[in-house]
A and B are shown apart, each in its own frame.
Chain A
Amino acid sequence: MRFQSLGILGVILALGSQSLRAQATSANDAAMALEPNAAVLERGKAIFRLNECNYCHGIDLTRAPRGARADLKHSPLVGADENGNLIGLAVLNGLPMSQTSMPRFGDVITPDQLVDLAAYIHFQRQAERYKELTALPDRPGDREEGKAYFNGTGQCTTCHSPAEIAGAVKKLAAPALKENTLRPTAPAAANPRFDEGYRAHRKMVERITDDEFLNLLAYLNSLRP
């Protein structure tokens, strides 16, 4: 185990040129500072590969098509996970009831490794869902459903009032609104409230469904004067 830990550290050092951090270069500098710790992600990626997760799930979570049990991009369990508390149930105990049962990794993955693994899975899921959501075809969503999401499931009112959102929306063209909803633009000055919100939006990207997103956009666009 000592050598395995050293090995993972070595991987982190050696993979410098292929850093996961580099995948997020399109975000602005302030937002970059809010990305998950690169060392954690590199460790998580190594654990993902060393434990054969990539065979069924794909190293970038794209191997299993939508609708497959191994599809981590859209799995509600992964979406609801916090630091491996739910992912760990499957990883440590396995899923013996599926046809090619997911093996049990309880003897080989430590609790610390599980946290890193979960961070990597969430990061990849956010990246892949971001791509999917931004590529959604322009079809009209349901404004009322979007409003219900804004006030309910999405918990948007935790940070935003409809009046504040209406003010923001009128400054943004539709494409910019779409982008800003998924990945808010950082303010020029440091703002702890933005930091908290940015992380909340990352979670939203993971959890929101295609229909919910289109409905939310329909609602937000309806707030234009």
Chain B
Amino acid sequence: MFVELSHPHGKDSQGTRIIMISRRNFVRAAVGGLAAAALPRHAFGMEAAFDRNARIGGLDFGVQTFSFNGLPNGDARIPTIIKCMHQVGITACGIQSGHVEPPGRTETGWWITDRNLPGMRESRERARQWRLTVPSSYYTDLRSRFEAEGCRIDYFGMNFNETFTDAEREAELKAAKALGVKACYASIRLDECARLVPFVQAHQVRIAMHNHNNIHDPQEFGTAESLEKALAMSEYFMVSLDIGHFTAGNNDSIAFIRKHHDRILNVHLRDRRKNNGPNTRFGEGDAPLAEVMRLIRDEKYPIDCFVEYEYGTLRTPVDEVNACFDYCRSVLT
């Protein structure tokens, strides 16, 4: 059985509005729908009642804006992020630089493997000049826009790399200060950490290393060992542990959190299969999401839990992020 739903607030640029429901899941959905009818928060097609207290089971939750894929470029981007947060009913976000900087600036990241293509050097320089000349009011205004809507930016994602000049590294740490975030989070390499040490010491800005699952390159944050090397470099280096990627690299999230809970600012909640397997819906992969959240709750670790939705689906990002939070509620209550 297939059901077509319209999503008046959906921002999926692909426009696909189809979900698949098996007979078994249709029955589940029907039963769930009856239950949901009693709850005002989940009225279909209506904006969720905004929940300013984004605590579930005693834990502080947030969402990675990466989850809202298909965002528009230009002036509509930030309002769309805020609207998605309202629809989900979540207060805090971790926002990536690509969602903050003008389009084109994102072409400076680690994902560029060929920097010798025509125009690449010029593009990189334009990005640098923008970062070096943008006034701090750009970031304080951005912060105000979120706060005016009852939201806040807790983490700022900046993927430093070898193409950054020292002035650029400094500018980004100042941007983080202007945003008033708890910390930066960064998908970077160990060798870049070494370059960042004097800057985080001088500016006293924390950077939380966001792991992936390349376990073959010791410079990449794919193992507990590489993260521990960064932690040893500076007290301002922390960890933003992505549970899904850590699992895909066949690492033990529970053991790492127990050992380093005082250096972990947040966990990114994502489910994946082991052995570099794909992302899955929450609860269907190998990542110990429920165990991690219960551990943080029971041990009262001051670690934020941020949903990072990335699995394949035909539904809208808002629907899937809601499903992720529903899973979190289900295992904590």
Q: Do A and B originate from a single complex?
A: yes
Nearest-Cβ distance from residue A135 to partner chain B, whole angstroms: 14
Q: Does A59 interact with chain B (Cβ within 8 Å)?
A: yes
Main secondary structure of the interface of A (DSSP, over half): loop
Residues from chain B with a CB closer than 8 A to the CB of A51 are: 278, 312
B113 touches A97 (CB 8 A): no
Chain A 60-93 residues near chain B, CB threshold 8 A: 64-70
A107 touches B310 (CB 8 A): no
Complex-state Cα separation, A65 to B114, whole angstroms:
10
Q: Does A52 interact with chain B (Cβ within 8 Å)?
A: yes
B314 touches A50 (CB 8 A): yes
Nearest-Cβ distance from residue B99 to partner chain A, whole angstroms: 14
Nearest-Cβ distance from residue A46 to partner chain B, whole angstroms: 7
A3 touches B14 (CB 8 A): no
Q: Which of A8-16, A28-36, A170-178, A200-208 contacts B (4 or more CB under 8 A)?
A: A8-16
Please tell me which one of the listed residues B214, B245, B310 contacts residue A55 in the complex, with CB atoms under 8 A apart: B310
Q: Does A158 interact with chain B (Cβ within 8 Å)?
A: no
Smallest Cβ-Cβ distance to B17: which chain A residue:
A14
Please tell me which one of the listed residues A10, A55, A66, A99 contacts residue B18 in the complex, with CB atoms under 8 A apart: A10
Q: Does A26 interact with chain B (Cβ within 8 Å)?
A: no
Residues from chain A with a CB closer than 8 A to the CB of B187 are: 99-100
Please tell me which one of the listed residues A6, A67, A99 contacts residue B117 in the complex, with CB atoms under 8 A apart: A67
Smallest Cβ-Cβ distance to B222: which chain A residue:
A101
Residues from chain B with a CB closer than 8 A to the CB of A107 are: 273, 277
Main secondary structure of the interface of B (DSSP, over half): loop
A105 touches B278 (CB 8 A): yes
Chain B 186-197, CB-CB to A under 8 Å as 1, else 0, gives 010100000000
B220 touches A99 (CB 8 A): yes
Smallest Cβ-Cβ distance to B106: which chain A residue:
A65
A96 touches B69 (CB 8 A): no
A49 touches B14 (CB 8 A): yes
Complex-state Cα separation, A146 to B216, whole angstroms:
43
Residues from chain A with a CB closer than 8 A to the CB of B20 are: 3-4, 6-7, 10-11
Q: Does A190 interact with chain B (Cβ within 8 Å)?
A: no
Query: Could you name 19 residue pairs across A and B whose Cβ atoms are closer than 8 Å?
Result: A4-B20, A7-B22, A10-B18, A11-B2, A11-B16, A14-B2, A46-B314, A50-B312, A52-B278, A55-B69, A67-B120, A68-B112, A69-B111, A69-B113, A94-B276, A96-B215, A99-B212, A101-B213, A104-B278
Complex-state Cα separation, A100 to B220, whole angstroms:
10
A104 touches B276 (CB 8 A): yes
Smallest Cβ-Cβ distance to B245: which chain A residue:
A100
| A100-B279 in contact given A15-B16, A50-B314, A54-B69 (Cβ < 8 Å) | no
Q: Does A108 interact with chain B (Cβ within 8 Å)?
A: yes
Smallest Cβ-Cβ distance to B112: which chain A residue:
A67
| A49-B277 in contact given A11-B18, A97-B216, A99-B214 (Cβ < 8 Å) | no
Q: Does B248 interact with chain A (Cβ within 8 Å)?
A: yes
Residues from chain A with a CB closer than 8 A to the CB of B16 are: 11, 15, 18, 49
B314 touches A103 (CB 8 A): no
Residues from chain B with a CB closer than 8 A to the CB of A50 are: 312-314
Q: Does B275 interact with chain A (Cβ within 8 Å)?
A: yes
Complex-state Cα separation, A81 to B270, whole angstroms:
32
Q: Does A98 interact with chain B (Cβ within 8 Å)?
A: yes
The 6 A-B pairs of least Cβ separation, nearest first, read A7-B20, A10-B2, A52-B312, A3-B22, A103-B278, A67-B114
| A68-B111 in contact given A55-B69, A98-B214 (Cβ < 8 Å) | yes
B312 touches A49 (CB 8 A): yes
